[in-house]
Amino acid sequence: MKTAFYIARRYLISKKSVNVINIISGVSVAGVTVGTFALVVILSIFNGLDVTIKSMFSSFDPEIKITASIGKSFDLKEGSFDAIKQMPEVASVTPVIEEDALLNYGNRQYFATIKGVPADYLAVSGLDSSIITSGKFMLEENQIPYAVVGQGVAYFLSVGLNFSDPIHIYTLKKGTRGRPDLANAFIHSSIYASGIFANQQEIDSKYVFVPFEFAKGLFEMNNKVSAVEIGLKKGFSDKDVKNKISALLGNKFKIKTQFEQHELFYKVMESEKWAIFLILGLILVIASFNILGSLSMLIIDKKADIAILQSMGANQKLIRTIFLFEGWLISLFGAIFGLVLGIFVCWLQIEFGILQVPGNDGSFIFTSYPIEVRITDFLAIFLLVSGIGFLAAWYPIRFISGKYLSNPVK
């Protein structure tokens, strides 16, 4: 094996009798390098986008959310929520009310989701860091309720924070059937906006936060809630806690982890990433045809060397191993160069944000593409390139070398 590797290395770096073989070998290394580089950069960008979007959801969505299996609301007395509060893994248990309503501000109207939360809601969420403009996350002051409005909702309604005009909220009374009577079928309430939050477009254009008691009266919830949000202490697995809560509550409730609340979205993100991986892998396969051509021409060029090696006692297996190592070295050098170049470009993007988001007017959550480098991606890329390189080298050795071996030993 050492002899085969030594000769293959000499063949790779030595000048060939036909200069085009050197050019094709260089193109082979360059093709593998570019393909590997592209995989590293694009997968790292997907990782960065994935982490960024998950962080936005994590500041809004609870680690575990409990809703009713049947219907839109439930009574807290129906479940063992006091026992859940006593669990050592649980940091907070927050009842919330979520219902759709019609908002009116000035001469504009908009349908949004009103989310009623307790006064200490900021202690179990990260939305305070999402407040923009001159507002603040204030739900109540001097027993006066206030609303915190999503940026998208505020944009459509042209909501201001000057407290000169309140937001009017309309919702149907419970038990209303058929065609509603505009005179008495709606519950109307008004509230001033204290702040505007910006988290994620889908959320910003949908939600308005109000005090829990305000939402309770507005939607006639009495002792019912729409959901219970569970916050966990650091170091505990949401899946393990979910299983414990399921054992306590039974089948009356749906219990979802943060991932399960956006399961489809996360699966689409993951599938897109690996689809890109396979597409670029296919491009690497095409680029590796250069290896096949390079080895084929090298075998033809080294017919005299092959004859000399055979006269010295080298068998067919050793000669094939030499050219197999030659193909592997081309793939290996290309993979190493591509990985190093990809890591360097990712570092430049992380440190200096060279690749900017086109058309960014400040409304995006990031100005340059986020990057996250993962060792598992490097391992997957290296294995892919190595596997393609092995197949690209094995084919010409298996089907061509025998033709040019004089008196091959079988």
Side chain identity at 150, as an amino acid letter?
G
Residue 28, token pair as written in the block: 């082979």
Q: Point out which residues pair with 117 in neighbouring strands.
A: 211
Neighbour tally for 109: CB within 10 Å: 13
Q: What is the pLDDT along the chain (410 residues), one digit of tens a residue?
A: 677 777 777 777 666 555 666 777 788 889 899 999 999 999 999 999 888 877 777 778 899 999 999 989 999 888 889 999 999 999 999 999 999 999 999 899 999 999 999 988 887 776 666 666 568 888 999 889 999 999 999 999 999 887 778 999 999 887 666 666 656 778 999 999 999 988 778 888 999 999 999 999 999 998 899 999 999 999 899 999 999 999 999 888 999 998 899 888 888 888 988 899 999 889 888 888 888 777 777 777 777 777 787 788 777 778 788 878 888 888 888 999 999 999 999 999 999 888 887 765 555 667 788 999 999 999 999 999 888 888 888 877 766 555 555 544 44
Q: How far is residue 72's CA from residue 93's CA, in Å, rounded to a whole number?
A: 19
pLDDT number for residue 102:
94
Quick count: other Cβ atoms within 10 Å of Cβ 254? 15
What is the reported pLDDT for 171? Answer: 92
User: What's the burial of 70, exposed, middle or buried (CB within 10 Å: 0-12/13-18/19+)?
Assistant: exposed
For residue 203, give every residue at least 6 positions away whose Cβ sits within 8 Å of its Cβ, in sequence order, or none: 56, 60, 150
Residue 386 token pair = 């190595």
- Flag whether the pTM goes above 0.75: no
Q: Are 381 and 287 in contact (CB under 8 A)?
A: no
Dist. CA 116–CA 214, nearest whole Å = 7
- Report helix, strand or coil for 237: coil
- Return d(Cα 12, Cα 327) in angstroms, integer: 9
| Pairwise CA distance, residues 407 & 410, whole Å | 9
Distance between CA atoms of residues 266 and 261, nearest Å: 10
Q: Is 66 helix (H, G, I), strand (E, B) or coil?
A: strand
Residue with tokens 């699966």: 267
Crossing angle between the packed helical segments 289-301 and 263-287, to the nearest 10 degrees: 20
Under 8 Å between Cβ of 189 and 102: no
Q: Rg (Cα) of the chain, in Å, rounded?
A: 32
Kindly report the number of other CB atoms within 10 A of residue 322's CB atom: 27
